């Protein structure tokens, strides 16, 4: 039986970033102690930027940077110098500011004209890094996610074909509302993680958070992320949590 999500409500956005950084450091040290490395998939969007900046501001010795492997859970189909690029945001906020070896950073080749080819190449990167046999899924130590007001997560949008994918690790997923492909981890990859941490902040996320955490059934993509052998933690600020019932508050 999958454990219910753990929900931690922080008084401010700064407290949320600090809580995220504390979790990241603890999980990284545990993973390196137990398995010699920490494989983490970063989220895109804007909320995580503050967390990445907080991690970049830590004393360098706070983390075993040379044993951390960075991936992206999803990427827009744009060049890496585009303001839309998740890699660009993570590079500017964190990866360019910490002593992580360049060979430990695995980005999507989102500049490829063919989004499917970019997805297949990234899928091969995962298979190689995790030394996967056919049919196996990677077990990330941590996957960071956000949720959109429509309940999407990574680039798995409500009604998109990618939600049905059960075999592939990474796909190009057509997003009707944006009229573009995005490259994204599939639900099986998200649900094989040891730890998934969602970050959500702001009043605009209050309705979706109530639906995701307290709504009946599981129809929204963010509700479908429930790792059966992993820990699911929602780090939210008071504004995003403002529509939750007192049991969560």
Contacts with ligand 6PG by CB under 6 A lie at: 43-47, 74, 86, 146-148, 152-155
Q: How far is the CB of 145 from ligand 6PG (least distance, A)?
A: 6
Residue 131 has phi, psi (to 5 degrees) of: 55, 50
Sign of CA dihedral 106, 109, 114, 117: negative
Beta bridge pairs of residue 105? 70
Nearer to ligand 6PG, 20 or 146 (CB): 146
What stretches of 82-179 adopt beta strand conformation (E)? 142-146, 170-175
Nearer to ligand 6PG, 104 or 222 (CB): 222
d(C-alpha 209, C-alpha 97), whole Å: 32
Q: How far is the CB of 212 from ligand 6PG (least distance, A)?
A: 12
CB 172 within 8 A of CB 122: no
Q: How far is the CB of 234 from ligand 6PG (least distance, A)?
A: 13
Residue closest to ligand 6PG when measured from CB atoms: 146
Closest CA to 171 of 131, 227, 118, 224: 118
Q: How far is the CB of 120 from ligand 6PG (least distance, A)?
A: 19
Q: How far is the CB of 29 from ligand 6PG (least distance, A)?
A: 25
Nearer to ligand 6PG, 47 or 191 (CB): 47
SS3 103: helix
Please identify which residue in the block is written with the tokens 């995580």: 48
Nearer to ligand 6PG, 44 or 230 (CB): 44
Sign of CA dihedral 93, 96, 99, 103: positive
CB 171 within 8 A of CB 189: no
Q: The tokens of 172 are what?
A: 């190009």
Nearer to ligand 6PG, 152 or 192 (CB): 152
Q: How far is the CB of 34 from ligand 6PG (least distance, A)?
A: 28
Nearer to ligand 6PG, 45 or 207 (CB): 45
């Amino acid at each position: 039986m999958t454990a219910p999500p753990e929900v931690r409500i922080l008084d401010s956005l700064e407290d949320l970033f600090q809580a995220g950084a504390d979790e990241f450091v603890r999980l990284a040290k545990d993973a390196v102690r137990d398995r010699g490395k920490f494989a983490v998939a970063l989220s895109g969007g804007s909320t995580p930027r503050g967390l990445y900046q907080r991690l970049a501001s830590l004393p360098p010795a706070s983390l075993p940077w040379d044993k951390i492997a960075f991936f992206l859970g999803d990427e827009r189909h744009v060049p890496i110098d585009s303001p839309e690029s998740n890699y660009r945001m993570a590079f500017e906020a964190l990866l360019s500011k910490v002593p992580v070896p360049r060979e430990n950073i695995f980005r999507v080749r989102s500049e490829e004209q063919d989004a499917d080819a970019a997805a297949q190449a990234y899928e091969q990167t995962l298979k190689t890094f995790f030394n996967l046999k056919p049919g196996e899924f990677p077990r990330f130590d941590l996957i960071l996610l956000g949720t959109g007001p429509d309940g999407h997560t990574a680039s798995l949008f409500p009604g998109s074909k990618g939600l049905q994918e059960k075999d592939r690790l990474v796909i190009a997923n057509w997003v009707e509302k944006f009229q573009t492909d995005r490259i994204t981890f599939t639900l099986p990859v998200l649900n094989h993680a040891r730890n998934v941490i969602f970050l959500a902040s702001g009043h605009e996320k209050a309705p979706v958070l109530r639906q995701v955490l307290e709504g009946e059934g599981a129809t929204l993509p963010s509700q479908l992320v429930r790792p059966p052998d992993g820990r699911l933690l929602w780090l939210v600020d008071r504004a995003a949590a403002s529509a939750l019932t007192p049991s969560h508050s």
